[in-house]
Structure 1
């Protein structure tokens, strides 16, 4: 009977290191290791991007729990209001904001955002500006004349429930920059632009004229209920 001496595997205890000058891994093995390392790097980048932009609750792995850790509300100031809000207009605008960089294509550096902005603008008459000579009443208190300031427009109020971004396009460098920092400036820029367009549209509308008509009807009804038979309301500086 012939006996064979067992050989120890390279990773087993007692294995001898390869002798000097022994041939190393073949080129095919090295290429396989390089491909495997490349695949691992790509998977790591994809997982990083996934967890960077997608909340864990969106993956369905964990239960969602919301906690409100807000502090107490602080009252900063009080003001007496003397204006009569007589009309309100609802507006909607589609903002197309594009930012480019010179000498670079949009695919490399640049952003473009489509944003639907919806908001309201109130028109009011400031009754606190009435002076002693702006209200006249006849002797038998049957006729009254009022001179009011022209109606003015309030600041546009953007409605967050009806405003949203439709699409966002970003260049490669902008996407890489977003991986390491949050940049809300683009969102704020389109919101400011939407507010400005809504304010311009309100100024071109007949919202102030509608407010003056409603104020006139309100004052006429109020004073007639007090016994005045003739009520005249005019507007001027």
Structure 2
């Protein structure tokens, strides 16, 4: 049987709750690491790297989703945009034409143009352009230059004679959609000059040379002879339908 004195004694001791002073002292102890222990470093920097990496990954995923067409209705926030700030066209003149276009020739020319300096190596100063130019040129008869008395009808009204000006070649039209620069070589100084202030009309010389080559080729191609034949056939068919049995077409020298 237990003694009376043992009844009022606790069987074990409960841990006491720490007071404010005890908590402060404990925080001081835990905040200072032991000598030789390493502190955790790079917390904010590591978090910033994670944020940037996640943003870059999001951009790549969005671009890939639009490129593959998985979500066709998805609007890419980084889509390419084009702004046209061109001014409205200005009408400068109107001309009344009385030309009969009787033939048209389509040509293609390869221009190999090089601009360099004597006694200077090409790697330092050189401009060489290989340009493929495509263009067309028309051959026409200008009816506006027909003089009085150019049309002579016979007394019986069965024959007619017409004198026409010789066919001419129009201006060469260079097709920029079908023309392209095949190759281009530029020296070191030329490339530096492009970075500082490039010449926007640098290709103009190549275009002009291509037009001159096409015009020369059209003169030697027999295009004007084809225009004469086509004009003659057109007028003969037209006048015969009006009742003329004999139609004579002659061309005067320009």
Coarse TM-score class (shorter-chain normalised) = 0.7 to 0.9
Q: How far apart, CA to CA, are the structure 2 residues paired with 1:72 and 1:229?
A: 54
Partner of residue 168 from structure 1, selected from 170, 173, 184 = 184
Return the match for 2:156 from 140, 161, 176: 140
Residue 172 of structure 1, CA deviation: 0.5
- What is the number of equivalent residue pairs in this alignment? 181
Q: 2:110 aligns with which of 76, 88, 94?
A: 94
1:77-156 equivalence runs, <5 A: 77-156=93-172
Q: CA deviation at 1:136?
A: 0.3
Bigger Rg, structure 1 or 2: 2
Q: Distance in 1 between matches of 2:82 and 2:158?
A: 63
In the superposition, the TM-score normalised over structure 1's length comes to: 0.72
**SS at 2:157 equivalent:** coil
Query: What's the secondary structure of 1:202's corresponding residue?
Result: helix
- Give the structure 2 partner of residue 14 of structure 1: none
Gapped regions of structure 2 (runs ≥ 5): 1-34, 37-75
- Structure 1: state its 5+ residue gaps: 7-59
For the pair 1:234 / 2:218, whether they are aligned, the reply is no
Distance in 1 (CA, whole Å) between partners of 2:205 and 2:77 is 35
The alignment's C-alpha RMSD in Å is 2.0
Return the TM-score normalized by structure 2.
0.67
Partner of 1:205: 221
